[in-house]
Amino acid sequence: MSKQMDRRQLLKSGLVGLGAMASFPYLSMGAFSGVEPELDNKNRIIRSPLVREILPGGRIDPISFKARLNANENPYGPPESAQKAVVSSVMRSNRYAWQELFDLVNKVAVKEGLPPNHIMMAAGSSVLLEKVAIISFMKGGNIVSADPTYMSLVNVAKSVGATWKAIPCKADWSHDLPAMEAAIDKDTRLVYICNPNNPTGAITAGDELYDFCSRVSEQVPVFIDEAYIELAEGSNTKSMVSLLTKKKNVIIARTFSKVMGLAGMRVGYIAALPEFLGKIDAITRGGMDIAYTSVFAASASLDDQSFQQMTKEKNNAVKKYLCSQLDKMGYAYVPSVTNFVLFPIAMAGKTFLEKMSAKGIGIRAFEIKGQPYCRVSMGTMEEIQLFVTALKSIS
Ligand X SMILES: Cc1ncc(COP(=O)(O)O)c(C=O)c1O
In the complex, the residues that contact ligand X under the rule CB under 6 A are 72, 124-126, 150, 194, 198, 225, 227, 255, 257, 263, 268
Q: How far is the CB of 149 from ligand X (least distance, A)?
A: 8
Q: Which is nearer to ligand X, 198 or 336 (CB)?
A: 198
Q: Are 213 and 242 in contact (CB under 8 A)?
A: no
Q: How far is the CB of 194 from ligand X (least distance, A)?
A: 5
Q: How far is the CB of 63 from ligand X (least distance, A)?
A: 18
Q: Which is nearer to ligand X, 37 or 287 (CB)?
A: 287
Q: DSSP characters for 35-67?
A: ---EE-TTS-EEE-SSEEEEPPSS---GGG-SE
Q: Are 167 and 26 in contact (CB under 8 A)?
A: yes
Say which residues have a Cβ less than 8 Å from residue 178's Cβ, sequence separation at least 6.
none
Q: Which is nearer to ligand X, 73 or 304 (CB)?
A: 73
Helix (H/G/I), strand (E/B), else coil: 251? strand
Q: Which is nearer to ligand X, 248 or 364 (CB)?
A: 364
Query: Longest C-alpha distance within the chain, in Å?
Result: 67
φ and ψ of 128, to 5 deg: -75, -35
Q: DSSP characters for 271-315?
A: E--HHHHHHHHTTS-SSTTS-HHHHHHHHHHHH-HHHHHHHHHHH
Q: How far is the CB of 294 from ligand X (least distance, A)?
A: 12
120/287 Cα distance (integer angstroms): 7
Please count the residues of the chain: 395
131 Cα distance to chain centroid: 15
Q: How far is the CB of 195 from ligand X (least distance, A)?
A: 9
246/213 Cα distance (integer angstroms): 12
Q: Which is nearer to ligand X, 21 or 71 (CB)?
A: 71
239: region left, alpha or beta (phi > 0 left; psi from -120 to 50 alpha) = beta
Q: Which is nearer to ligand X, 251 or 263 (CB)?
A: 263
Q: Which is nearer to ligand X, 11 or 231 (CB)?
A: 231
Q: How far is the CB of 200 from ligand X (least distance, A)?
A: 11
Q: How far is the CB of 268 from ligand X (least distance, A)?
A: 4
Q: How far is the CB of 225 from ligand X (least distance, A)?
A: 5
Q: Which is nearer to ligand X, 216 or 298 (CB)?
A: 298
Instruction: Please choose, from the candidates 373, 344, 345, the residue with its C-alpha nearest in 3D space to the C-alpha of residue 52.
Output: 373
